[in-house]
């Protein structure tokens, strides 16, 4: 076996998160508690999953860290930016996701994680009103400040490498504009001209991270790295980018269940998805412009799994007003639930001779409990990709994301089928570990 194509995970890994809210404080607390042997990182594939590798004709089932060098949890150092000044301990208590007994044992470490001032524009998240923000800075000055923050964090914490993870709120929808989003020169010019309409604050974080040699992960449905200019920057800096939008609850179910309908050759008339959610994310998504960003992300999953043009008899039913099945997604802000969101799916299918049937799925999940292990896996695997010299869009990480990145300028279709995504993930890890990629995506 040959691991020579991946640099070792030597030294400490800095994990800089944008947004010190429910998701990231749950992520941090879980990692710190696991390090002390006081919790289990359930849901993390890098910590539990095993995959088959073929070693000289012999099949073995190995954990990820037995195939490739993955950073040990004890080597992770956390930092953050947030619009609110509360430290990670205060934020974890305020989020009310975890019980106090599961936070207190690592209080000393959490208290030390104090957020740096956020690059923030109130017009991009009107429901947030924090004062721990950079004031009076142009977009380019934000980039410069964020780059300095990353350099200082590395120096002060003695970390070898950094990964930047966006787990902050969904910004208002920024449509891709060819004039300023298609080339790196145009993007930089827009930043320097302080073009607030086309340059979202999240783009400043991504630009700063990549330029400072840090992989960037977009955990919200923001346009941020889903533009050719950022792909160009990732190629130039030889850094990985992954996005977008953590696939935690309802979309995870959709990307896993839709293939059942497709594989069984059943017909689909319509799929209605609705959620209730009460945390800060739900509050921000209560703003129509922010919901539009999320809606685009959540709607994209189904259409590339069950394709009307490929099976018109099954998915191309004409209902008078449109061709194809009807797909609707709704998110409702409902404060009493806080982080415990509930997703309802109503699926209208039909079978033999067109006879109708229904499927109902009611998923009572915990948003941050599902997102925390995704954060861990995406951070560790993005760091692995950087050490393996894999840069640009990391399509093999699509498994973790609602709206996988793809080159839409070349009409590339994203892979949304959960099982095909899992095959891509395993093959990439096999290749980095020096094993043959021995599964095909059908």
DSSP 8-state secondary structure symbol assigned to residue 123: G
Closest CA to 379 of 21, 52, 31, 84: 31
Q: How many CA atoms lie within 13 A of 213 on its CB side?
A: 9
- Give the tokens for residue 192: 């320097």
Please write the tens of the pLDDT for every residue from 387-438: 999 999 999 999 999 999 999 999 999 999 999 999 999 999 999 999 999 8
CB neighbours of residue 226 within 10 Å: 23
CA-CA distance, 75 to 11, in Å (whole number)?
7
Q: Counting Cβ atoms within 10 Å, is residue 94 exposed (0-12), middle (13-18) or buried (19+)?
A: middle
Q: Say what the alpha-carbon torsion angle 431, 73, 80, 227 is, to the nearest 10 degrees.
A: 10
Residue 289 confidence (pLDDT) = 78
Residue 326 confidence (pLDDT) = 92
CA-CA distance, 305 to 442, in Å (whole number)?
12
CA-CA distance, 254 to 272, in Å (whole number)?
11
Closest CA to 231 of 219, 248, 243, 220: 243
Residue 2 confidence (pLDDT) = 47
| Domains, the chain, with CATH or none | 13-246+368-432 (3.40.50.720), 250-364 (3.30.360.10)
Secondary structure (3-state) at 134: coil
Residue found by looking up tokens 């991009």 in the block: 124
CB 69 within 8 A of CB 6: yes
Q: Regarding beta strands 356-364 and 392-393, do their DSSP bridges make them parallel or antiparallel, or are they unpaired?
A: unpaired
Closest CA to 67 of 360, 351, 437: 437
Please write the tens of the pLDDT for every residue from 219-230: 999 999 999 999
Query: H/E/C letters for each residue in 271-329?
Result: EEEEEEECCHHHHHHCCHHHHHHHHHHHHHHHHCCCCCCCCHHHHCCECCCCECCEEEE
User: In which residue ranges of the chain is pLDDT below 50?
Assistant: 1-3, 320-321
Distances (CA, A) of 97 to 100, 128, 171, 429: 9, 20, 23, 32
- Give the tokens for residue 328: 């609707």
Helix axes 201-211, 228-237, angle to 10 degrees: 20
pTM metric for this prediction: 0.93
Strand positions, DSSP E, 193-266: 216-218, 240-243
Closest CA to 272 of 254, 252, 285, 289: 254
């Amino acid at each position: 076996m040959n691991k020579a194509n991946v640099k070792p995970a030597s030294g400490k890994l800095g994990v800089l998160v944008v947004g010190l809210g429910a998701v990231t404080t749950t992520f941090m607390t879980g990692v710190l508690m696991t390090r002390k042997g006081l919790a289990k990182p359930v849901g993390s594939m890098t910590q539990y999953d095993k995959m088959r590798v073929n070693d000289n004709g012999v099949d073995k089932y190995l954990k990820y860290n037995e195939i490739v060098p993955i950073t040990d949890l004890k080597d992770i150092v956390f930092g953050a930016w947030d619009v609110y000044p509360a430290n990670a301990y205060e934020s974890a208590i305020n989020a009310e996701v975890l019980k106090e007994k599961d936070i207190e044992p690592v209080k000393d470490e959490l208290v030390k994680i104090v957020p740096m001032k956020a690059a923030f524009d109130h017009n991009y998240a009107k429901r947030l009103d924090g004062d721990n923000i950079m004031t009076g800075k142009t977009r380019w000055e934000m980039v410069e400040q964020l780059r300095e923050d990353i350099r200082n964090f590395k120096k002060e914490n003695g970390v070898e490498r950094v990964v930047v993870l966006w787990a902050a709120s969904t910004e208002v929808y920024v449509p891709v504009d060819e004039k300023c989003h298609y080339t790196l020169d145009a993007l930089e010019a827009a930043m320097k001209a302080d073009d607030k309409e086309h340059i979202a604050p999240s783009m400043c974080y991504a630009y700063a991270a990549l330029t400072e040699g840090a992989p960037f992960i977009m955990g919200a449905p923001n346009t941020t790295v889903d533009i050719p200019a950022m792909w160009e920057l990732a190629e130039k800096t030889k850094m990985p980018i992954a996005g977008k939008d953590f696939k935690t609850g309802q979309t995870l179910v959709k990307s896993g269940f839709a293939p059942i309908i497709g594989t069984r050759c059943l017909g689909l008339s319509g799929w209605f998805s609705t959620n209730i959610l009460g945390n800060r994310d739900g509050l921000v998504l209560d703003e129509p412009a922010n919901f539009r960003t999320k809606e685009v992300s959540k709607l994209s999953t189904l259409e590339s799994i069950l394709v009307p043009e490929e099976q018109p008899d099954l998915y191309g039913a004409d209902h008078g007003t449109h061709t194809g099945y009807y797909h609707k997604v709704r998110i409702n802000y409902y404060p009493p639930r806080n982080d415990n969101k509930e997703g309802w799916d109503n699926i209208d299918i039909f079978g033999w001779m067109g006879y109708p049937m229904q499927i109902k799925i009611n998923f009572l999940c915990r948003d941050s409990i599902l997102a925390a292990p995704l954060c861990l896996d995406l951070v560790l695997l993005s760091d692995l990709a950087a050490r393996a010299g894999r840069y640009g869009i990391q399509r093999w990480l699509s498994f973790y994301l609602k709206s996988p990145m793809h080159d839409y300028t070349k009409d590339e279709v994203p892979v949304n089928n959960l099982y095909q995504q899992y095959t891509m993930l395993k093959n990439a890890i096999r290749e980095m570990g020096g094993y043959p990629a021995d599964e095909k995506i059908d």
